[in-house]
Structure 1
């Protein structure tokens, strides 16, 4: 048992160190390597160019990354196809899980499960309890370790959906102005993605890539609505598909959608403002009213105690 725990701890420490290395930025090294290779491509052979590229890559990219990708791929292959496809949809909806995709999420699940399992074994090792109680605690903690990555993933999805919903009116305004200036829908998307940043812009960039690859506009917009998972985006894509099908002016459709999105954002702001008195009631009763009572009634109580003592 101790040997098994030691091996699991070593594997988990290795994966944690890998995650830390992945989080570090490598853009500066990539730019430096590209600048070094610019002057060598014309005179070097293909084998030399390939060798230089491999040697200029970091140890993480050459050795650790392929091994970890293979391990994550094997771990993901164990899951049923339905579960795997559902997890891929969730990772896609979260924006790629911090840019690491399915591989990073599978590793996160493995590390989380291993850590909770080791904590459960350590917690139950010297406890005076029955074997059944120890097994139940180990199973419970392991289940929490399995569920925690999905909880974190859904939290990322909610944050991303909120950011998309908040930025939709402004992005649609710029898209509408670009179309009214004479650009097509695809050209207006390119102009918007070049000017702005954010989760919604990332989705529009992916939409543009799919359109350039030959995917129909209807399919691309349907995938966009499915990835975002919010009702406003579904209404927007449905309006664009309908306008494209019926030949309605795109500028007029975008103007109407932009006005609707802005009105919906205004209504959400009013709704949140209406909820504020109820939300602030309990903090006021717990933290503010007792202090006010102490400040107002404190001197009177002290004076009353002194008077009764005399």
Structure 2
């Protein structure tokens, strides 16, 4: 009987020590996660502050008047049909609060602005004012199209850059014992940008009762970045097969960093011939001219110069 009691006491203390060890490990992992999230959030906030330029504020100001011209813009839809605009705005993250109707009206606002600027230049008698008077309205029509295309490209590129850090952070949170939805919800609160927007919408759809696989497919339709699509496809496959998500995230983050490093090396290799070309045709001739100039100056003004030879 005494042996049973002693064994029970020993087991109690053993489990108590193991519990404290697990609690300590969890607290350390959580602290590491918070430090990493704070660093990422600070970096993201600085990037966002730098990107808020005068041009962006001017675009937002002009877009306020776009609703009045949306009907006209929908009729004049060269390279900007409404279904294509909807896809483009979705990939761009609806920049400047643009909807399809507002985008169509914004084209007409830019046409009117181009006409006003062209008229002003024509009255002042600027060179090529006649050409600008005609071309500026056409340029104004296409400015919103190229602007939103550029925003979509930048957003998808930022999504690719932020994804490895996001996956690492979620992986740490999962290893600390959090569930997938809880880990994503906690991590995205520290992010600013497309990562935060996409996964916030995903969590909201899940909480509203949208099937998980359908929410994943909606994320795929909203973004065309290949790395992001690979992550979402792996999540879909993992939810079907029961693969550990933490391991999947960590492996994909490492793979993305490896691919990014290879792309940087490839760009550096492509830049080497360009540097050689510049060196061969610009720097080398300049160096030869400098050496030749020094030789000529030495021949004219040196101790054994031509002037001294004739003077003697």
TM-score range, shorter chain: 0.5 to 0.7
Unmatched 5+ stretches in structure 2: 1-56
Q: Work out which of the residue numbers 43, 68, 72 in structure 2 matches 1:71.
A: 68
CA RMSD across the alignment: 3.6
Q: Work out which of the residue numbers 115, 139, 149 in structure 1 matches 2:113.
A: 115
In structure 2, do the counterparts of structure 1 residues 70 and 152 end up closer, same or farther at CA, with 3 Å as the change threshold?
closer
Deviations 1:2-42 (A, max 9, x none): xxxxxxxxxxxxxxxxx74956xxxxxxxxxxxxxxxxxxx
In structure 2, do the counterparts of structure 1 residues 93 and 286 end up closer, same or farther at CA, with 3 Å as the change threshold?
farther
Q: Indicate the structure whose relative CO is greater, using CA pairs within 8 Å and at least 6 residues apart.
A: 2
Counterpart CA distance in 1 for 2:193 and 2:93 is 11
- Is 1:296 paired with 2:294? no
Deviations 1:191-232 (A, max 9, x none): 110122232222222222222233222222222233231111
Q: Work out which of the residue numbers 222, 225, 233 in structure 1 matches 2:220.
A: 225
Helix, strand or coil at the partner of 1:98: helix
Counterpart CA distance in 2 for 1:233 and 1:21 is 29
Counterpart CA distance in 2 for 1:237 and 1:93 is 16
* CA drift at 1:93: 1.4
Counterpart CA distance in 2 for 1:71 and 1:262 is 47
User: Considering only CA atoms, is the larger Rg found in Structure 1 or Structure 2?
Assistant: 2
In structure 2, do the counterparts of structure 1 residues 69 and 241 end up closer, same or farther at CA, with 3 Å as the change threshold?
same
Residue 259 of structure 1 aligns with which residue?
A: 254
Q: Work out which of the residue numbers 163, 187, 190 in structure 1 matches 2:182.
A: 187
TM-score (norm 2): 0.64
In structure 2, do the counterparts of structure 1 residues 202 and 72 end up closer, same or farther at CA, with 3 Å as the change threshold?
farther
TM-score (norm 1): 0.65
Q: How does 1:191-230 map to 2 (within 5 A)?
A: 191-230=186-225
Deviations 1:235-291 (A, max 9, x none): 111111111122222223223322222222222222222223134345445654454
Q: How does 1:83-162 map to 2 (within 5 A)?
A: 83-102=81-100, 105-119=103-117, 140-162=135-157
- Counting matched residue pairs gives 244
